[in-house]
Amino acid sequence: MRQLRTVIRSMVTADGCVVAMDDATIVWKPKGGRQRRVRIEAQASVLLGLIGPSGMVERIVAGDEYGGVNMISLAKMEVIDRFVVGKSKIRSLCASSISGESILVGCENGTVFMVGPSVPNRVVNLFELDGPASALRIIGQDLHIQQGWERKVVSWTGQKSLALA
């Protein structure tokens, strides 16, 4: 008997689509080619596409239910790096540079991290919020954080910014 899996996250790109399944499998379905898959350590909770030098999405970042941030190469469909920020579910991801070498991570418990191979010790705890960050965005020198209906503009230390939102 075939096991039924459920799609829990998906992302559409110009070249195809990425689907995260409830069994912790990430599936790449290119427009012109065979679908490929990779399994991560826990069920994905959020997906982020990183654009490469070609101008197309070349890597996927998948945050998971257990506090892991998985970097996945679409070309090889393999996990090329994994960062663990704690045991709290990852709620939001944001590339902090054009190259995507460092990623901002918002967790269910309100902590905000920076992860990446060039980040000191690979993971840095930036600050803590009073609730989960539903969305993160960098605008200029400030972080714009959505928490439910509330939007916060903070510095990289978590202090309220002087910029108007």
* Mean pLDDT to the nearest integer, 144-148: 90
| Contact criterion met (CB below 8 Å) for 133 and 91 | yes
Share of the chain above pLDDT 90, in %: 70
CA 96 to chain centre: 11
At residue 42 the predicted structure's pLDDT band, cuts being 50, 70 and 90, is very high
Helix and strand totals (H; E) in the chain = 0, 15
Is residue 2 domain-resident? no
CA 95 to chain centre: 8
Predicted pLDDT of residue 40: 97
For residues 8 and 20, give the distance between their C-alpha atoms in angstroms, rounded to a whole number: 6
pTM: 0.89
* Domains in the chain, number: 1
| pLDDT surpassing 60 at residue 36 | yes
Domain boundaries, position 135 = 7-154
Predicted pLDDT of residue 165: 44
At residue 148 the predicted structure's pLDDT band, cuts being 50, 70 and 90, is confident
| pLDDT surpassing 60 at residue 92 | yes
> In this structure, what CATH number is given to the domain that contains residue 120?
2.130.10.10
Is residue 16 domain-resident? yes
Is residue 58 domain-resident? yes
